[in-house]
């Protein structure tokens, strides 16, 4: 599928560098995506300069360029901001362009690469939630599949200020709302909370995430821990730097949560180290978002090709 990336900031440029490798998200085969352009609005941006050096179109006319070239583009990865995507989403659909939304706009169904990758492959617009959502929703889901119900889940995502560009900073409110919703809709929690922290520490810290999950009475704790370790391995297939910072633990309660009093809770500490495709390895928040976007885009392309062939 011919694709374009809209947004020449940190996320868009990192995704471009991944796609230019020519391999799929797991690094084990060739990608079914052909990158035709990185599109921005600042003609002097580093991302557009890099695109041109790589032989990729680097126009600075923004969404207008995408729509003017709709006949040459099958898919757009939108790495702008929530308000820009909300303004243009219907235009992409009307033009027949599939949108993979890397903003927290949440126009289309939410997709977490390690959990519901194949559920919305025919949708005209899919939402990638947030970097924190891609990192923590899999762990909430891992706990949920091992228990009878999950009354409460909470995540705290801490990223380096250096890896948070203008788009991320403009979307803090949308980040928390969209991530919290994903913990319920995809993770399976009954109630949820999401928090993001931008840490200005020098040297920059790795992306770190903490997940708290309230456990009901009678939970098989060993099954919960086994499910968490399996999910770590699943995410590492496309984000090798995704790892448990410490062994997950089950803490004795009781704990009074917004979902009610629970006798125990699971605590999962995660670290995400980036591949260093554009920014240094501390920017794991970029890496998990762009790696997941690539994986979802490839899944859509493969599904559409199979459907078109009548297989």
Catalytic residues: 131
Cα dihedral 248, 250, 253, 254 in deg (nearest 10)? 100
Asked if the peptide bond before residue 122 counts as cis, ω within 30 degrees of 0, the response is no
DSSP letter for each residue of 237-264: TT-TTEEESS--EEEEEEEEETTEEEEE
Is there a contact between 7 and 44 (Cβ–Cβ < 8 Å)? no
Pairing of strands 34-39, 125-127: unpaired
Is there a contact between 282 and 274 (Cβ–Cβ < 8 Å)? yes
Q: The tokens of 188 are what?
A: 């399976």
State the Cα–Cα distance between residues 259 and 285, nearest whole angstrom. 28
């Amino acid at each position: 599928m011919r694709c374009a990336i809209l947004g020449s900031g940190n996320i868009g440029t990192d995704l471009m560098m991944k796609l230019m490798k020519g391999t799929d998200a797991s690094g084990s085969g060739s990608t079914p995506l052909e990158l035709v352009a990185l599109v921005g609005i600042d003609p002097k941006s580093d991302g557009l300069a890099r695109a041109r050096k790589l032989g990729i179109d680097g126009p600075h006319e923004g969404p207008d360029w995408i729509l003017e070239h709709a006949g040459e583009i099958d898919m757009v990865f939108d790495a702008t901001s929530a308000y820009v995507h909300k303004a243009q989403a219907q235009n992409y659909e009307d033009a027949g362009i599939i949108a993979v939304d890397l903003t927290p706009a949440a126009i289309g169904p939410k997709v977490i690469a390690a959990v519901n990758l194949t559920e919305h492959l025919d949708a005209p617009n899919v939402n990638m939630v947030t970097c924190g959502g891609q990192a923590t929703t899999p762990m909430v889901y891992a706990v949920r599949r091992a228990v009878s119900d999950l009354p409460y889940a909470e995540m705290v995502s801490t990223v380096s200020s250096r890896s948070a560009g203008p788009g991320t900073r403009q979307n803090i409110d949308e980040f928390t709302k969209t991530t919290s919703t994903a913990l319920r809709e995809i993770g399976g929690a009954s109630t949820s909370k999401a928090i993001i922290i931008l840490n200005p520490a020098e040297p920059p810290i790795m992306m770190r995430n903490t997940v708290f999950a309230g456990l009901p009475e009678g939970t098989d704790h060993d099954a919960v821990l086994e499910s968490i370790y399996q999910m770590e391995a699943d995410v590492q297939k496309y984000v090798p730097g995704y790892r448990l910072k410490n062994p997950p633990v089950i803490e004795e309660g009781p704990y009074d949560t917004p979902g009610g009093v629970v006798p125990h809770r699971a605590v999962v500490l995660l670290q995400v180290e980036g591949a260093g495709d554009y920014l240094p390895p501390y920017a794991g928040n970029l890496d998990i978002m762009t790696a997941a976007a690539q994986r979802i885009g490839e899944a859509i392309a493969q599904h559409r090709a199979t459907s078109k062939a009548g297989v």
